[in-house]
Structure 1
Amino acid sequence: MIWRLILFFMYVFPIPFIGIPTIRTTPIFATVLLVVGIVLWSIQSYLISQFITNPKKMAKKHQRVRDTGKITQAEILDSQNIGSEDGYPLKNLLIRFKNLAGNPVKAIIQLIDSKEHEKRFEPGKTIDLKLNQRGSDPAFTFGEGEFITESRPWAWAWLIFNIVYMIVFFLVTYYFKNEGYGWRFLNPFTSWLWAPIAGISILKYLLKSGIEQDIISQYHEISSSNSKKDIGELLLYGRSTEGEIVSYGQTGLYVNEQPQLRFNMKFIDDIGNTVNKSFKKVIPLTKLHELKLGKVEVLYLPRNTDIFMISFVD
């Protein structure tokens, strides 16, 4: 359903706007807009191409960490089957390991269990990890096995369709609106120009969301706004401690019909100071009943305590 909406707004929604009254511009300004439009459509095509190239880039990053990373052992705290891949179980493992700063941290890693009968990934067992010593993307990788990438024929089809659509959409618009004035129908409100702007925004959101998720994901339910882009550094150099949710309440703002809440919390940092934090977070209505006051597990970055994640303690 989400993909239908995305494709609708990128390719169907702009078409009716071809029929709006034409605003003629000067030849020079129209030529500038023509170039701008081509650049915007090229950016949109480039972003689509990242659905093809990103898995391979990710595989290379993991291989580099496997070749150069520091080996450590992680304890499996929980193992869940979340589906299958090529006939083998796809698992989410909740693991705990000591990071490069010597602190115990938790994370979730996804892998394919090609030898399920050996029960290698049962809770209580250990697996080898390689920690990234030359950056934080990714923070670590699985010490054995192979990082499998998809060929993604749908992404190739999407890229080709986008390029063809760009050309056809311009030619159709030109046919109905030029009236002997060439491309002087181009103006800032022409759908051929603003359509790729909307598409670029949608694609950037998709690429940042879980659609392009790595095999590593966070264990903690709630994270500060800064922690998403710094999750690798947080896992490699963060410190775990006990904190407390002092209060929380709705701000009155809703995002996609989900309420935004303000949390007030505190924890003790590595030098014994009490750190007070207030942050806002959009919480799904289905998760509101899980919120509570009291103790939380905090993973924070000593160099910047605004970068943290928390999970509720049962």
Structure 2
Amino acid sequence: MEKISKNGIFRDAEVVKYQLLHFNSKTNYNFIKILLSFHNYRNVLIEHEMYFIDTKPNEKRYDEGKSVKILLNPDFNHPPYFILKDQKVSWNVKAIIFKVLMIIALIAYILGLYIYFYNKESYDFGWRFLTFMHPIVFSGIMMLLYILFDMILMQGLLFKVNKDERILFAGRNAEAEILNVSQTGLTINDQPQVMFQLKYSDYRGKEHIAVYKEIISLLNIVSIPKEGKINILYDEKNPDKIIIPKIF
């Protein structure tokens, strides 16, 4: 985020929607969600939601219709794709201290186990009583494998690139012809997935046929266009990858 604040691409954004999610009476901070409208890397007008803590709610900086300044990440292959120009981050010192103390306690516990079993089972033969299947060795190895797996999994979840968002921020726009619209049969939380088959021409004039799938609310299912033209964004390097920013 510091890198983006120094090298980010400046944009003006308009607050389209504002929603208060939580008010902290102790700090007088608001946890809010806003929908911003701004131009992406290709100067295509897009909309995107963001969640953050407003430390100065009395100033009403993010009311609907207000203009805010944002910075786009110059490297659009990695999130976050943009930040607010005045956005600040800080370390959670209490959480860091707690985690350090937990690590120290865990190390002390493991050392205590080794000392205990050494005094109880070594019988003056040193550490030769330890085998791979000894409880403190085997369980320790399994714990390390679990921690390693958990770290890799969490890193993948936290820093996984959302391909749709990448196209939203770096994609080119085009007008596509609707060839077919149908339900795939998949539902998530009783909301159906709809598949769009579209034909469009890229900025070079080359024609493409692409498929886009989206989960649609049952309340909006009747509003889905079945024919005609629709605006899309596509990946310049992989034109088969598209998104429909606004279906309705």
TM-score, length of structure 1 as denominator length: 0.55
Answer with 92-101 or 235-244: which moved more.
Answer: 235-244
Q: Which residue among 235, 238, 244 is the counterpart of 1:304?
A: 238
TM superposition shift of 1:107: 1.9
Partner in structure 2 of residue 270 of structure 1: 202
Question: Secondary structure in 2 aligned to 1:184?
Answer: coil
Partner in structure 2 of residue 70 of structure 1: 9
Partner in structure 1 of residue 89 of structure 2: 147
Contact 1:103–1:240 under 8 Å retained in 2:
yes
TM superposition shift of 1:123: 1.7
Q: How does 1:109-124 map to 2 (within 5 A)?
A: 109-124=50-65
Question: Secondary structure in 2 aligned to 1:93?
Answer: strand
Q: Which amino acid aligns with 1:129?
A: I
Q: Which one has more relative contact order, counting CA pairs under 8 Å at least 6 apart?
A: 1
| 1:99 aligned onto 2:31 | no
State percent identity of aligned pairs.
Answer: 19
TM superposition shift of 1:74: 0.9
Specify every segment of 5 or more residues in structure 2 that has no aligned partner in the other structure, as ranges: none
Q: Which residue among 132, 141, 147 is the counterpart of 1:185?
A: 132
Q: Distance in 1 between matches of 2:55 and 2:61?
A: 10
| 1:201 aligned onto 2:135 | no
Contact 2:212–2:243 under 8 Å retained in 1:
no
Contact 1:178–1:185 under 8 Å retained in 2:
no
Q: Distance in 2 between matches of 1:174 and 1:102?
A: 68
Q: Distance in 2 between matches of 1:172 and 1:162?
A: 15
**Count of paired positions:** 228
Q: Which residue among 219, 222, 238 is the counterpart of 2:171?
A: 238
Q: Which has the larger radius of gyration?
A: 2
Q: Which has the higher helix share?
A: 1
TM superposition shift of 1:114: 2.8
Q: Which residue among 82, 104, 120 is the counterpart of 1:160?
A: 104
Q: Deviations for 1:124-151, whole angstroms, at most 9, x for unmatched residues?
A: 2211011223554432221124223322
Contact 1:227–1:309 under 8 Å retained in 2:
no
Q: Deviations for 1:290-310, whole angstroms, at most 9, x for unmatched residues?
A: 684834875442212455555
Contact 1:266–1:274 under 8 Å retained in 2:
no
Question: Secondary structure in 1 aligned to 2:211?
Answer: strand
| 1:313 aligned onto 2:247 | yes
Q: Which amino acid aligns with 1:246?
A: V
Change (3 A) 1:298 1:98: same
Q: Distance in 2 between matches of 1:274 and 1:176?
A: 73
Q: Deviations for 1:87-131, whole angstroms, at most 9, x for unmatched residues?
A: 310212111211121112222223332332332211222110112
Specify every segment of 5 or more residues in structure 1 that has no aligned partner in the other structure, as ranges: 1-61, 214-225
Contact 2:72–2:81 under 8 Å retained in 1:
yes
Question: Secondary structure in 1 aligned to 2:140?
Answer: helix
Question: Secondary structure in 1 aligned to 2:129?
Answer: coil
Change (3 A) 1:164 1:205: farther
